[in-house]
Structure 1
Amino acid sequence: MMTDTKILDNLISIDSQCTRSNEEIVRFLENLFGEFECKKFSIKKPSFNVFNLMVRIPGNQSNRPLIFSGHTDTVPVADGWTKNPFIPFLKGDRIYGLGSTDMKGGIASFSAAVLALTKKPAQDIYLLFDADEEGELAGGMDFIKKMNFDQCSPNVIIAEPTNCLMEVGQNGNYDIKVTFSGQSFHSSRTSPFKTKRFSAIDKARRFMNEIDKLSLDLAMLKDGRFGSPKVAVCQIEGGSAPNVIPGSCSLVVNRRIVPSEDMNAVYNTIRNIARKIDNNCIMEILFNGPPFVVDQQSGLFRRVASISRQIIGHRRTSISAGWTQAGLFKKWGPCLIWGPGVKDMCHKIDEYTSLKQIYAMTRGYRKLISMNE
């Protein structure tokens, strides 16, 4: 039987950056779970295909299956790494490597927990390995389309890194692309009036100024542990040459939403800001994921809280400022974000995870499997 750390070593060694296909890591997982039912789903992207993998471990019953979810892709390698990101490096309690925390550690823990089974589980277990979570969420959306749990009542564990805390909610997320159009002409022929009227970048500049004002207003709002809503322009593209007034400029606005906000109202606010500057601007929603709040009265939460106290030594909870697949998979049933990983190391150079957390969560997942009856 392959141990959690051995699985993690193998996963880190496979390059599964979201800028390329994840077929190699899916092939490894297929081989790892070859004795069980495996289904691979191909998803077309513009430059390459990515793959989802579903593994089903049959139980004595199938009315309350337990689902473990983990994404197989990582963010791209950033400049500044002092170690080879694809060679696992052990130092003390730390294992370094790209994806070690986000989220190959979680995959290693629940995979090892399943492989340690010595008898048929009481309920079916599903392992959902999705692609493109760090990209456009194509894998998660594909699972929602293809996996049908309408005839049962699943419990869902998202094994994202939480420092072994139970995450009882997450903020929502909007990515909104705004495109301003103008008129291109030689920059020597411009004037303050012409720049304001025809320069798409000037329109984008004024839009960004209004977004800055909105950001300050949002910082005054509070929603308990979820904190304040946030907004930022995270991408901008425009202009064709240094001496040409730009005829087009696009921006992507990232908006983090707290549960007390209305998704439609959030979008309308940004749309109204853009349309006051140029009523002909084009608005495109690239992604929208609503906030998610865990039902702490659910059987899943109570069981995990009990396990956490026994194995981790506490039953502390936290809130995710980011967005995870819980926002999608909650439609199937009670859902909880609970996994190993040093959360502050997500998307950072020299990423590492904690061995103690890996060991603890492997035990925790094994205990949860035994309690899922």
Structure 2
Amino acid sequence: MATAPLRPLETSVLAEIDRARLVELTGELIAAGGENPGGTEAATVAILDRVLTGLGAIVHLDEVAPGRANLTAHLGGDRTGGGLLFLGHSDVVPAGHGWDADAFTPREKQGRLIGRGATDMKGGLAAVIAAMAAVHAHHPQLPLSLVCTVDEEADAIGIAHYVATEPVGSYTGCVVAEPTDLVAIVGCRGAANFGLQITGASAHAGRPADGASAIQAAAEIIAEIGQDTERLAAAAHPVLGAATWNIGTIAGGHGTSIVPDTCEMSLDRRLLPGEDAHLILEHLLDRIRERLQTASMPGREKITVRGQLQMQMPGFLTDADSAVVAGMRQAVRDVSGAGELGIWTASCEGGYMAEHHQVPTLVLGPGEINTQAHQPNESVEIDDLLTAARAYALFALRHASNNAPTPSH
């Protein structure tokens, strides 16, 4: 699809987006940190609050946990919401090791801005704010909103609190500013985290039949999950692909000469639309217990298995031919991007918004999740920051025009 000519208002709005200011804001957000686990998002939220309030937004901070507040900001209209909604998160993963310099001291190198969160997702947040500011400067009545949650990188308590307490709004679409390399992501699977606790009976390793090995029971569970993975692969979604399992951690036992009486496992399960994580856990536990009844292991009758749902994040799927998707792809093309379409292997909080507000949702942002996010020397292309901000602004203008109420006669 070819680029479209810009209207005078669009040209004026895009000219408002300043590269240096965008880089400065991104760097300020990087320096604010917000490692999760290990810190709070308070410094990042304080910057967002200050900048958005300075633009004239009504900003609401809703504390989810001490020092951890969700931020909701409304610009334009009656400053209570409606129109286009942007979504982001204020936390970052821990810096970890392997950096060439301090992870939270932003620095430019060869056209990239380096620092923890540059890609995931301080750059996306800065681009959203730059776009909101530019649009508001020339079209102050156009309603724009930003929701920025805490704890996205761990247990998603921020978004869970938001959907439990925030009324359904009159939004017309949602753009999640996660790093997609400026590809319009129209769907992703959801995710659920489960914890399993296996209890057996200890005994001397010289007489293992006197006990019941929790680790051996865990091996049976791993085999059961492997079988379920094959079943899921055979029932893949035509667009999103198959639901999957991943065994993230396993720990148990007390020593080489002791039959282990405890073992714990953490599991990741990617969800297809319509799947319920509570039912998935219930069915898994049922299959595990059935398997253990016939397992060829000593003391199997002494084994107990408990499980908890620790986190779930719904997926979403937006019609690739919808006006929202087509409009964003065109906006990206019109600011010199490729305007590509895709599906994500990651999960994000967009599914919550799609479900809660019942709006078409897509994910698009600067940076690349697989090669940059959650890695040492995380960085984002500065040109991509600018392209994202310009695309957001252009899309916001056109989206508002396309969703304007029809005059009554």
Please give the TM-score of this superposition, normalised by the length of structure 1: 0.89
Q: Identify the residue that residue 149 of structure 1 maps to in structure 2.
A: 168
Q: Identify the residue that residue 179 of structure 1 maps to in structure 2.
A: 197
**Matched-pair contact (CA < 8 Å) for 2:81–2:144:** no
Consecutive unaligned residues of structure 1, counting only runs of 5 or more, are none
Shift of 1:69: 0.8
Among residues 43, 59, 68, which one is paired with 1:38 in the alignment? 59
State yes or no: 1:253 paired with 2:267. yes
Percent identity over paired residues: 23
Q: Identify the residue that residue 154 of structure 2 maps to in structure 1.
A: 135
**Matched-pair contact (CA < 8 Å) for 2:366–2:385:** yes
Among residues 23, 27, 34, which one is paired with 1:9 in the alignment? 27
Q: Identify the residue that residue 336 of structure 1 maps to in structure 2.
A: 362
Shift of 1:105: 0.9
C-alpha offsets along residues 12-67 of structure 1, whole Å, 9 cap, x if unaligned? 111211121111111111111223211111112xxx54111111113269784211
Would the alpha carbon gap of residues 223 and 361 (structure 1) be closer, same or farther in structure 2, given more than 3 Å must change? same
Q: Identify the residue that residue 218 of structure 2 maps to in structure 1.
A: 204
Alignment of 1:63-78 (within 5 A): 64-78=82-96
Structure ID, larger Rg: 2
How far apart are the structure 2 equivalents of 1:63 and 1:213?
47
Among residues 237, 240, 244, which one is paired with 1:226 in the alignment? 240
Shift of 1:212: 3.2
Q: Identify the residue that residue 324 of structure 1 maps to in structure 2.
A: 348
Shift of 1:243: 4.3
Q: Secondary structure at the match of 1:209?
A: helix
**Matched-pair contact (CA < 8 Å) for 2:30–2:105:** yes
How far apart are the structure 1 equivalents of 2:116 and 2:310?
26
How far apart are the structure 2 equivalents of 1:275 and 1:288?
23
How far apart are the structure 2 equivalents of 1:11 and 1:188?
55
**Matched-pair contact (CA < 8 Å) for 2:182–2:339:** no
Which stretch has the larger CA shift, 255-264 or 32-41?
Answer: 255-264
Please give the TM-score of this superposition, normalised by the length of structure 2: 0.81
Alignment of 1:270-289 (within 5 A): 270-276=284-290, 277=292, 280-289=304-313
Letter of the structure 2 residue corresponding to residue 3 of structure 1? R
Q: Identify the residue that residue 88 of structure 1 maps to in structure 2.
A: 106
State yes or no: 1:190 paired with 2:214. no
Letter of the structure 2 residue corresponding to residue 71 of structure 1? H
Q: Identify the residue that residue 297 of structure 2 maps to in structure 1.
A: none
Shift of 1:97: 0.8
Consecutive unaligned residues of structure 2, counting only runs of 5 or more, are 1-17, 294-302, 402-409
Shift of 1:260: 8.6
Q: Identify the residue that residue 387 of structure 2 maps to in structure 1.
A: 360
**Matched-pair contact (CA < 8 Å) for 2:149–2:159:** yes
Would the alpha carbon gap of residues 121 and 154 (structure 1) be closer, same or farther in structure 2, given more than 3 Å must change? farther
**Matched-pair contact (CA < 8 Å) for 1:100–1:351:** yes
How far apart are the structure 2 equivalents of 1:202 and 1:56?
55
Shift of 1:80: 1.9
Q: Identify the residue that residue 10 of structure 2 maps to in structure 1.
A: none
Among residues 22, 28, 40, which one is paired with 2:47 in the alignment? 28
Shift of 1:239: 2.7
Shift of 1:225: 4.5
How far apart are the structure 1 equivalents of 2:231 and 2:322?
36
Q: Identify the residue that residue 375 of structure 2 maps to in structure 1.
A: 348
How far apart are the structure 1 equivalents of 2:314 and 2:108?
38
How far apart are the structure 2 equivalents of 1:110 and 1:168?
19
Would the alpha carbon gap of residues 90 and 251 (structure 1) be closer, same or farther in structure 2, given more than 3 Å must change? same
Which stretch has the larger CA shift, 212-221 or 201-210?
Answer: 212-221
Shift of 1:353: 1.0
Alignment of 1:46-125 (within 5 A): 49-59=67-77, 64-116=82-134, 117-125=136-144
- Write out the 4+ residue segments of structure 1 that deviate beyond 6 Å after TM superposition: 60-63
How far apart are the structure 2 equivalents of 1:347 and 1:72?
14
How far apart are the structure 2 equivalents of 1:294 and 1:130?
22
C-alpha offsets along residues 271-301 of structure 1, whole Å, 9 cap, x if unaligned? 3332222784112111223331013344322
Would the alpha carbon gap of residues 319 and 113 (structure 1) be closer, same or farther in structure 2, given more than 3 Å must change? same
Which stretch has the larger CA shift, 320-329 or 295-304?
Answer: 295-304
Shift of 1:348: 1.5
RMSD after superposition: 2.5
State yes or no: 1:315 paired with 2:332. no
Q: Identify the residue that residue 228 of structure 2 maps to in structure 1.
A: 214
C-alpha offsets along residues 229-252 of structure 1, whole Å, 9 cap, x if unaligned? 321210223234454433221211
**Matched-pair contact (CA < 8 Å) for 2:87–2:350:** no
